[in-house]
Structure 1
């Protein structure tokens, strides 16, 4: 049984392990690792308990490209994204007096985790996430009404994690999973 580190903030979770395993598989696909090296390092990552163990398994890989960030802003008006649009790693959405509707159900999501930072004043807002997505609302602060969200029952693992953070003032944020 592995011993726990003295500093608990260095512990890793399943998301950290999954992300590191994907990075190793990508490095293998790009020719940076042999099949044997990838297998050995993925095994180390999946057994890792600390950030240091993950960092050592990822050592010698090329530096990871910085995630891209985009901002959508409408001080007074409607924000709407739907269809096959490319979702950046970090998306900032700012609206003071209007509606926001982000539909990620058919969007192109290229990263395992998408951070959506909202700054919403008044008005109704809705985010539709892919059917197999996991939603994390830990970083969301609300001023008036709690967000509406029901986690999907029987969701299959492997979908993206959508982390929603920021501030909702006097509006209401509704998050739902796509039906198909």
Structure 2
């Protein structure tokens, strides 16, 4: 985001603003700030034009938990994860050609929110989430075929949350909830 070396009066780039919005939303999703505080901070971030204003909007925001980041990539073929596996805070899946199957139903999560970025060219993808998971697909762009997903109501307040982002080219993404 902003480094100490940057001039406080220097104009910010869209990437800086996007990063700040993401940071405020994550703090809210992880219940480190209230809904009212999130609204106030987002208004300030979106109105910011300089690094000084952006820094002030993020001032005293709880420290961001970086968690882990993992990238799964393949030029062609299949990408498949299933069974018991540790899911990082941020997971990036990249495939030019081929199918992707992520089964998160038995996976372990250290963080309440998991960001999954999909960058898929050609091929279908299936993501199986835990039964009571909350899935946000607003950051995902689909190209050729529409997304197949029916949201469910979480059965418990501490249900795992997933935010999907990225882009899919020629293929369909299907998200389903596990039976148990």
The TM-score, its normalising length taken from structure 1, stands at 0.69
Question: What corresponds to 1:94 in structure 2?
Answer: 94
Report the RMSD for the aligned CA atoms in angstroms: 2.8
Per-residue deviation, 1:14: 8.7
> What are the residue-to-residue correspondences of 1:60-79 with 2, within 5 Å?
63-79=63-79
Is 1:138 the counterpart of 2:138? The answer is yes
Local SS of the residue matching 1:139 = strand
Where structure 2 has 5 or more consecutive residues not aligned to the other structure, the ranges are 1-19, 42-55
The equivalences for 1:35-50 within 5 A come to: 45-46=33-34, 48-49=36-37, 50=40
Shift of 1:97: 1.3
- Deviation per CA, 1:146-169: give whole Å up to 9, x if none: 110000146432212101111111
Which residue in the other structure is 1:84 paired with?
84
Kept in 2, the 8 Å contact 1:118–1:166? The answer is yes
- What TM-score results when the alignment is normalised by the length of structure 2? 0.69
Write the deviation string for residues 110-158 of structure 1: whole angstroms up to 9, x where unpaired. 1111111111112221001111211111111111111100001464322
- For structure 1, the residue ranges without an aligned partner over 5 or more in a row are 1-8, 22-44
Q: Secondary structure at the match of 1:146?
A: coil
**Superposition misfits of 4+ residues, deviation over 2 angstroms:** 12-18, 45-58, 63-67, 153-157
How many residues of Structure 1 are paired with residues of Structure 2 in the alignment? 144
Q: Which has the larger radius of gyration?
A: 1
In the alignment, is the contact (CA less than 8 A) between 1:113 and 1:162 conserved in 2? yes
**Cα 1:171/1:144, change in 2 over 3 Å:** same
